[in-house]
Amino acid sequence: MSFVNYFISIQIFFLAAITRAQGLDFGQQDSADVVSPESLFPFANMTLIIFSIYLVCGITLLAYFLLKNRPKWVPPVILENFPTSAKVAITLTLIAYGLVHFFALLEVYLVTKTSFKSASEYFFYMKLPKLAATSHAHFFGHGTMYLLTSLIFIFSKLNEFWKIAFICLALSAGLLDVPSWWAIKYGGGGYELFSSFAGAMSVLGWGYMAIRILYEIWWSELFRRNA
């Protein structure tokens, strides 16, 4: 993932440097003074180029992970054999992570449907320091939450290919979501589709891992032993 994060750093640094050099802050622009798409998004073409390069690099990296030859690996211990204390800790943690997703979806709805008319309007008026801080927090929280879930998920009985697929799906969501915010701010509302797609990737990838984990650690505990 360091390869992808490298391109994220370039994107953030490059856009921030240009904005500062030209004294621009879209968050302080008066919409009444805007008379053309070019004045709204003067970096639209540059954003398209950077985002396209970033997207191609990310897809290439994911393809490498999925198509790479993988030696067969058998977990030394499977989820259903975890001690009850570990099962309880994992279950409560996944419930907390589920609430994180719920409130994230609620926040998106309130911001884009109540406070603002759309995501593009929300990011247009967001100041650069706020966007950078939000990106930092999101990358850290997203990476930590999905990493911990993935490290538990690898002890499931699922085939190694599908483990990699769902891990990549979940962790790649944040790597697509945050850059799409920058693209929306500097390139326009056309990039909202990528943010929505990233949200779907996040819910599907993490959701499946969480359900699979809970199924394997409690199915034998609650049902098979009573059979």
Chain segment 85-133, per-residue pLDDT in tens:
999 999 999 999 999 999 999 998 898 888 888 888 898 889 999 999 9
Do 173 and 142 touch, CB atoms closer than 8 A? yes
Do 146 and 170 touch, CB atoms closer than 8 A? yes
pLDDT value at position 115?
86
pTM to 2 decimals? 0.76
pLDDT value at position 188?
87
Which of 176, 169, 179 lies closest to 202, judged by CA?
169
Q: Where are the alpha helices (DSSP H) in the chain?
A: 2-21, 37-40, 44-67, 84-110, 119-124, 128-153, 160-187, 192-222
Of 79-93, 136-150, 185-199, 213-227, the poorest mean pLDDT is in 213-227
pLDDT value at position 31?
46
Of 16-30, 47-61, 203-217, the poorest mean pLDDT is in 16-30
pLDDT value at position 129?
92
pLDDT value at position 225?
57
Do 16 and 129 touch, CB atoms closer than 8 A? no
Q: Is residue 213 pLDDT above 80, yes or no?
A: yes
For 65-85, how does the pLDDT look when each residue is reduced to its tens digit (9 = 90+)? 988 887 888 888 999 999 999
What's the gap between Cα 129 and its chain centre? 20
Q: In a 3-state reduction of DSSP, which class is residue 73?
A: coil
Pairwise CA distance, residues 102 & 105, whole Å: 5
Q: How far is CA 38 from CA 27, 30, 72, 123, 148, in A?
A: 16, 15, 54, 17, 43
The larger pLDDT score, comparing residue 36 to residue 217, is at 217
> Average pLDDT, stretch 32-51?
70
For 14-35, how does the pLDDT look when each residue is reduced to its tens digit (9 = 90+)? 444 434 433 444 444 454 454 4
* For the chain, percent of residues with pLDDT exceeding 90: 58
> Average pLDDT, stretch 30-57?
74
pLDDT value at position 106?
93
Which of 57, 79, 82, 53 lies closest to 4, judged by CA?
57
90: Cβ contacts below 8 Å, ≥ 6 apart? 82, 152, 213, 217
| Reported confidence tier of residue 42, pLDDT bands at 50, 70, 90 | confident
* For the chain, percent of residues with pLDDT exceeding 70: 79
> Average pLDDT, stretch 196-213?
95
